[in-house]
Amino acid sequence: MKSFIRKSERTDAMQAVKLLLMTMGDFGICLLGFGNKHKTQSVARQFFLYDGNRFSFRFADILLVDSNIAGLLLSFPGEAMIKLEMYTFFQLWRVYKKMEAFKFIWRILPLVNYKEAEKDEYYIAHLAVNPSYRRRGIGKQLLEHAEVKAKERGMHKCSLSVDVDNTAAIKLYSKCGYEIVSKYNRANLMDRFNTRGKYRMVKCLKF
């Protein structure tokens, strides 16, 4: 199996967005599409194609196996989080109609106090493997790529968030050295996002 990783491009949107949404599951459908799968795909594609927001192709890497897209990693330094959130907020008004944008803001309120990453951490926002290529070590390869990117920036930690019920992902991250450091839960997360909460996991990198 010959594989390599490259920066994502706008032309990857069709397959990349499918992988991106795999990482979000019901949470993504509830947040981006208000429960509508078609709406979710349309919104995610628009965000992916724009610059500067936290879903942008600019922060994505694609893993190819024999020229086929087998995995996706979307990551960035934790110190960039506030700036990316601001760009995402401003682009809401380009992606949604006015009342939809307000609806998005209202729905995301339970997550306002959720700190996904510290400034000194390299944040793995999304990691997905095409179902046809699972159990081949691709998830581990993408995690290792994120850690290389972190080290290139002189960062000593990587972090990520994962749904508390995503046992397969938690098992992979734990096996690769990530530890659960906190859990975020609110009473209305299940009602708005169909999730019981999120674990924050962190790995200290060795140089």
Residue 32 token pair: 């981006």
Task: Indicate the CATH number for domain 3-204.
Answer: 3.40.630.30
- For residue range 120-142, list pLDDT tens digits in order: 999 999 999 999 999 899 999 99
> What value does the mean pLDDT take over residues 163-175?
94
32: which residues sit within 8 A by CB, 6+ positions away? 24, 39, 40, 43, 44, 47, 104
Spans of all domains in the chain: 3-204
Cβ-contact 85, 54 below 8 angstroms: yes
pLDDT at 54 (0 to 100): 97
- For residue range 184-201, list pLDDT tens digits in order: 887 677 777 778 888 999
- For residue range 6-41, list pLDDT tens digits in order: 999 999 999 999 999 999 988 899 999 999 999 999
88 pLDDT band (50/70/90 cuts)? very high
| Length reported for the chain | 207
pTM above 0.85, yes or no: yes
Cβ-contact 124, 73 below 8 angstroms: yes
Cβ-contact 67, 61 below 8 angstroms: no
pLDDT at 179 (0 to 100): 98
Cβ-contact 158, 203 below 8 angstroms: yes
